[in-house]
Structure 1
Amino acid sequence: MLDKYNLKMPHAVYSGENSLENIKTILLENKVNKLAVFTDKGIENAGLLDYPMNFVNETGVDVIILDELPAEPTYSEVQKLVDQFKESKADFIMAVGGGSVIDTAKLASILVTDEYGVYELLDQPKLAKKCIKTLVIPTTAGTGAEATPNAIVAVPERELKIGIVNEEMISDYVILDAIMIKKLPRKIAAATGVDALAHAIECFTGNKANTFSDLFALEALDIILNNIIPACDDAEAMDAKNKMQIASFYAGVAITASGTTAVHALSYPLGGKYHIAHGVSNAILLAPVMRFNESVCREKFAIAYDRCVHGEKACTSMEEKSEFIIKQLEHIVKHLDIPTSLSTFGVPASDLDVLVKAGMEVTRLLDNNMRKLTPEDAREIYKKIL
């Protein structure tokens, strides 16, 4: 565990019933003249944008909607939207969407300059400084993008997704209103929810884990393990959905304080080369990587058991507790009908070398994994999920 650590969070976070009402106060307090709203066509077509826009329209501020963003965007697709934002001369950003929408909005907040763009930040993320404040309203309970300093973009020429990390991108305001995820399709709720689950357990078991990250990671893990299934299965389970939103935020804070590990590292090539959704990629790898890590993370998993299992506790030894947690991860992924094999996505065994090479390039995350992972280890993990 680190002996030096820090915690950086959004300026203000609002949650609970009717928390979208805070939009009016936020815009008025910041004397916003022109608001840039980042979203996507799916959010608009589902009618979700109407909820926050009803409050925006009451303020009378000028608005531009930026919604030409595909799923799992490349850095050039993100740059296109950033350029549209710059041309708009908006003085405040509101993001309404999932991880890709939020990440694009966060990048726009630090890329008002013409001196560099998204491409330059791939290798020099610290170049940029925040120029525009952001209000983030997530429409999934999973990515934690509303809390993190990270923005994930696909880089086609490297067949990889790359995380741009810059603390200047941490959101200024966050609103977690469960009405925004009430109608979320089960498939998306499941994938994004397991993404948050991965964040929580990876941050808790990483080399950079510390007092601050453990506080948020363990709380997130407790909430997710006990709420993800009803939140996904029952459209009316609003309490579970609200808890999942809060847990996703907590897990995002844990990322900011420590960081993810080999699950995310090995999942990046799956999104970059095969365009598998980020949450699904993590779900496929979650239990296999945690089984690989078990020998060095056993004590951590036992602590997680003691914290997250309520009622009668049947496991007594550290080994039993550790195995229980891993089996719970497997159970959740199976129950939520998330694929556990890459064959579902047409990934051939002949691509194994390519996967290993790309996964091992994500050293920022692999270095945080408690058990050292070699190319041979990565190969064995990928073989298990082919």
Structure 2
Amino acid sequence: MVGYQDFRMPEAVRFGVGALQTLPEEVKKFGAKKIGLISDKGLEAAGVIQMVAELLQPLSLPIITFTDIQGEPTFSLLEKTIKTIKDEGCDLVVGIGGGSAMDVAKTTAALLNKKDIEDYLSSKKTIEERGVPCILLPTTSGTGAEVTMNAIFGDEVQEVKRGLVSPALLPDLAIVDPALTISCPRRVTAASGVDAFTHAIESYVAVRSTPLTQIYAEKAMKLFPLYISRAVNHGKDLDARIGMSWVSHLAGVSLANAGVGAVHALAYPLGGKYHIEHGIANALLMPFVFEVTGTTCIDQMVDIAAFLRLGDYRQHPNDSLGAVVRYLYSLLSELDLPTSLKELGVEESSLPMLAAQAAKIDRLLSNTPYNLTERKILSIYQKAYNGMIN
């Protein structure tokens, strides 16, 4: 049992509609001479990058934009980003986008002044301190990357996804403006929204959870059912976007400090081998994983059922798990997300290999209140392949 645990967040968080407009005054505080603006192709095409650049124009600072991010990032893309921003002499990184863009931005800021980054990328060394200041602005409600100490990248050689973890990955400032999420497409809204819920529920039951982290996870889970369908089906509903921004942000804080577990461990190999989006993988696997792991945390399942307004199971606690699992599975159809691995093009013959890879992710499995063996992981994949829960 852990005797003590730190609780970390960015030095400052600014949340609210219109918060984006304060970016110039915040940039000015850092005394930067050149800004590295990191984002993705989608936001560039949507005109968001130009809008941000115009917002910063009164500062009369050169802005180097890097928007080569498409899909989920790889270590090779990260190295390319670091080289570009370093060669340009940027001394402030601004990351705007979903989890991919923010992961690239905050890792670039952390490693910018390091001479040899290979040991950091291989996790042989932990990043001690950030190289240059970093500001993050999320445009989706899902990853909570603006408040987390981890960043996920694809290893193209090993065909796996690996996470870098360090307090240096926390930004100096997180600006959460829910208005930035209004342009988020329907499927991305659904997948990222359920991803945020995955962070909340996994961190709530995590071995490393504390009463403090559970406060954040609980609030996120209570808000989720009130806003997810509205945000997905009525994307311009600003109130729903605000609600889901809170879900993502609060769940991110809980994730950052309590960690996540088996759902993420099983999702990573799917991303590495089949390039399935992280949020989609988490959403699909969640009911199948909790059908197994939830058996060892029934008290928390009673809590979660109440948070989700599924009923009061205090008199019949063992029934709470079934209610939660059915709810998680129903979300897939309700939000038009895939309901089986087969639907996603996963080959049944690859399941043993995926299980072997997932079984090695001890950082996450050890944080799960259930001893998942490779054989048990394989059985979860097999049920998820067919899309059948009990």
What letter is aligned with 2:327? Q
- Three-state SS of the structure 2 residue aligned to 1:116 is coil
The answer to whether the 8 Å contact 1:136/1:146 transfers is yes
Shift in alpha-carbon separation, 1:127–1:181, aligned structure 2, 3 A: closer
Task: State the Cα distance separating 1:226 from its structure 2 match.
Answer: 2.2
Task: State the Cα distance separating 1:118 from its structure 2 match.
Answer: 5.2
Aligned to 2:20: 20
More deviation in 30-39 or 366-375?
Answer: 30-39
Tell me, in whole angstroms, the C-alpha distance in 1 between the residues paired with 2:70 and 2:206. 32
Aligned to 1:171: 171
Tell me, in whole angstroms, the C-alpha distance in 1 between the residues paired with 2:383 and 2:186. 26
- Three-state SS of the structure 2 residue aligned to 1:372 is coil
- Three-state SS of the structure 2 residue aligned to 1:64 is strand
Residue deviations 1:293-316 (CA, integer Å, cap 9, x gap):
121121101112233429x85885
Identity %: 30
Tell me, in whole angstroms, the C-alpha distance in 2 between the residues paired with 1:174 and 1:218. 22
- Three-state SS of the structure 2 residue aligned to 1:126 is coil
Task: Trace 1:78-117 onto structure 2 (pairs within 5 A).
Answer: 78-117=78-117
Task: State the Cα distance separating 1:111 from its structure 2 match.
Answer: 1.2
- Three-state SS of the structure 1 residue aligned to 2:68 is coil
**4+ aligned runs moved over 6 Å, structure 1:** none
Aligned to 1:369: 368
Task: Trace 1:143-162 onto structure 2 (pairs within 5 A).
Answer: 143-162=143-162
Residue deviations 1:147-166 (CA, integer Å, cap 9, x gap):
10101000122221001001
The answer to whether the 8 Å contact 2:133/2:172 transfers is yes
More deviation in 12-21 or 371-380?
Answer: 12-21
Task: Trace 1:181-196 onto structure 2 (pairs within 5 A).
Answer: 181-196=181-196
Task: State the Cα distance separating 1:354 from its structure 2 match.
Answer: 0.8
Task: State the Cα distance separating 1:77 from its structure 2 match.
Answer: 1.4
The answer to whether the 8 Å contact 2:193/2:228 transfers is yes
Task: State the Cα distance separating 1:322 from its structure 2 match.
Answer: 3.1
Residue deviations 1:152-200 (CA, integer Å, cap 9, x gap):
0001222210010011110111111122110211101111111111000
The answer to whether the 8 Å contact 1:2/1:210 transfers is no
Aligned to 1:234: 234
The answer to whether the 8 Å contact 1:149/1:256 transfers is yes
Matched, 1:358 2:330: no
Taking CA–CA contacts closer than 8 Å with sequence separation of 6 or more, which of the two structures ends up with the larger relative contact order? 1
The answer to whether the 8 Å contact 2:302/2:314 transfers is no
What letter is aligned with 2:329? E
Tell me, in whole angstroms, the C-alpha distance in 2 between the residues paired with 1:114 and 1:13. 27
Aligned to 1:303: 303
Aligned to 1:221: 221
Shift in alpha-carbon separation, 1:269–1:112, aligned structure 2, 3 A: same
Shift in alpha-carbon separation, 1:373–1:313, aligned structure 2, 3 A: closer
State the TM-score, normalizing by the size of structure 1: 0.95
Shift in alpha-carbon separation, 1:114–1:204, aligned structure 2, 3 A: closer
Tell me, in whole angstroms, the C-alpha distance in 1 between the residues paired with 2:321 and 2:314. 9
Matched, 1:384 2:379: no
Aligned to 1:340: 339
Tell me, in whole angstroms, the C-alpha distance in 1 between the residues paired with 2:356 and 2:162. 15
Task: State the Cα distance separating 1:215 from its structure 2 match.
Answer: 1.2
- Three-state SS of the structure 2 residue aligned to 1:31 is coil
Task: State the Cα distance separating 1:278 from its structure 2 match.
Answer: 0.5
The answer to whether the 8 Å contact 1:21/1:55 transfers is yes
Shift in alpha-carbon separation, 1:297–1:39, aligned structure 2, 3 A: same
The count of residues paired between Structure 1 and Structure 2 equals 385
Tell me, in whole angstroms, the C-alpha distance in 2 between the residues paired with 1:54 and 1:225. 37
Structure 2 gaps of 5+ residues are: 386-390
Matched, 1:291 2:291: yes
- Three-state SS of the structure 1 residue aligned to 2:145 is coil
Shift in alpha-carbon separation, 1:319–1:52, aligned structure 2, 3 A: farther
Tell me, in whole angstroms, the C-alpha distance in 2 between the residues paired with 1:296 and 1:225. 25
Aligned to 2:388: none
Tell me, in whole angstroms, the C-alpha distance in 1 between the residues paired with 2:118 and 2:59. 32
Residue deviations 1:101-158 (CA, integer Å, cap 9, x gap):
1111111112123532256432224144211111101111001111101010001222
Matched, 1:207 2:207: yes
Shift in alpha-carbon separation, 1:287–1:226, aligned structure 2, 3 A: same
More deviation in 135-144 or 340-349?
Answer: 340-349
Tell me, in whole angstroms, the C-alpha distance in 1 between the residues paired with 2:236 and 2:114. 47
Aligned to 1:60: 60
Tell me, in whole angstroms, the C-alpha distance in 1 between the residues paired with 2:343 and 2:329. 17
What letter is aligned with 2:92? F
